[in-house]
Structure 1
Amino acid sequence: MMTIQCRVTIDENQFIEDVTFQAVPRIGESVSMAGDTTSLRVSRVVHLPEGASQEALIVVELTSKIL
């Protein structure tokens, strides 16, 4: 099965983590992080142009706030 590597930030925090998803999450979708029971929702998905980053070309912003 193919997976997607994304850069993830939570609640506009400067901490960025690389996370693997089965598919690119959609805005408003509920997601969970490994080892964390917090309910998180996707607030923004940014597709970076080719070559802008050597690792992840998709940035996913998550929030613990209700959308």
Structure 2
Amino acid sequence: MQLANVTGVGIGRDELSGEDVIVVFVTRAVPRELLPADDVVPDELEGVPVRVLAIGPVDAQDQES
């Protein structure tokens, strides 16, 4: 996904309902009404619910041998 703020996408399980969901990781939570329409994360993709999780900035780390 090439939406503003999106840093990653994964799969998970909703903590309340227990259903499988797509998790979209974002740097910060932004209310839908403040986002351009092209940057709004959909509520579902191909029938699978989507959850947005704000995790802050993501930086690559050096791997030590």
Query: Which structure has greater helix proportion?
Result: 2
Structure with greater Cα Rg: 2
Q: TM-score range by the shorter chain?
A: under 0.3
More strand by share: 1
